[in-house]
Amino acid sequence: MAINVDALNDFSDQLAGKIVLDSVMVGNTAEYMSVQQNIKFREPLNLAQVTPYFQGGDAVSTPSGSAVFSQRDITVTKRTAYDSWNLQLLTDKYLGKMALPEGSYEETFALMEQLSGDLVRKSQQANDDFIWNAVSGSVFAGSTVTPNSDGLKKLISGSTAGVVTPTASGSADFGAAINATNAYDQLAQGISLVDVNVLDAEDLTIFCGTGTFQTIVQALTKQNLFHFDPTSVERRGNMMEVPFPGYPNVKIVGTYGLRSSDRVIIGPASDCVIGTDLLSDTENFKTWFSIDDDAIKYRLRNKLGVQIGHASYWVSNDLA
């Protein structure tokens, strides 16, 4: 008699399979910009400007010049991520055998290290998104958070007095989207609009989205301008960075926060200040086991806000 296996399901060894986590493009704008800590809600960014005035003559006794002190407020927004994972739901699944300890009191989870690492990466990605795209008073996409202040994209735009834009400068060249043909000329034109006082700044930076960054690298490689070396593209703090040919003090940085935008922003990175309570709050979180409901819980909370010191130091093409 032949063997009859019609009543059996096909075998699938679920315990032998790997747990594959999402791939995450982590943004870390704080790697480039200044950070001001210990802000609970709002603190001033104190600015000082001294201007000498030279007088002629043999005996000068009239005070001249100026010392001007001003402030720009950094207002942070409180953001909290919280979840609860009931481990009892896993006991009758393959994950119960794979990831839970022996016995009926499951208080830990073998995959916590991997899940915690994924949680940190995704929270850093969300932080970078918030730093760039927050709009004061408007609920932030994918959350219930209402920002108390604008992010960098709106802050460094024509909506802030002093920021240089193609409209304000009369330059139409820098107002077009970057493509493989115009990339170098667009960026060079943008740099020509930078305030002369920061034109030689060591941290003069061109910020753009990851898609625009790839277009720029392809364009520079194709044109081979100044013997451009495509292997000079680096990762720094999970951001993409490459020197701008012909300008030894200028770097191009592709950011996650501008990933779906044609916006290009140029200025000294240290003039941007990211406000927070503790810098470690952007990657640390609390986890605990609650015996009351058989669940592992986590809470991740931080405060974030941004401000620029000198609007006139910044250039934006003001594209969407």
Ramachandran quadrant class, 6 (left: phi over 0; alpha: psi -120 to 50; beta: rest): alpha
pLDDT digits (tens, 9 = 90+) for 264-279: 999 999 999 999 998 8
d(CA 22, CA 2): 46
pTM to 2 decimals? 0.86
In this predicted model, which residue has the larger pLDDT, 106 or 180? 180
**Within 13 Å, how many C-alpha atoms sit on residue 32's CB side?**
29
pLDDT digits (tens, 9 = 90+) for 217-254: 889 888 775 556 666 666 655 568 899 988 999 999 99
Range of the domain at 104: 75-316
Residue 221 forms part of a structural domain: yes
Residue 131 forms part of a structural domain: yes
Residue 279 forms part of a structural domain: yes
Amino acid code (one letter) for 186: Q
Residue 225 forms part of a structural domain: yes
Q: Which DSSP helix (H) or strand (E) runs through 205?
A: strand 204-209
The pLDDT assigned to 272 comes to 96
Residue 108 above 90 pLDDT? no
The pLDDT assigned to 95 comes to 72
Residue 32 forms part of a structural domain: no
* Inter-CA distances, 176 with 56, 192, 210, 315, Å: 48, 15, 17, 14
Burial of 297 (0-12, 13-18, 19+ CB in 10 A): middle
Residue 55 forms part of a structural domain: no
**What's the maximum distance between 2 C-alpha atoms anywhere in the chain?**
123
Residue 150 above 80 pLDDT? yes
Residue 44 forms part of a structural domain: no
Which among 149, 151, 188 has a CA at the least distance from the CA of 266?
188
Residue 22 forms part of a structural domain: no
* pLDDT band, residue 198 (cuts 50/70/90): very high
Q: How many domains does the chain have?
A: 1
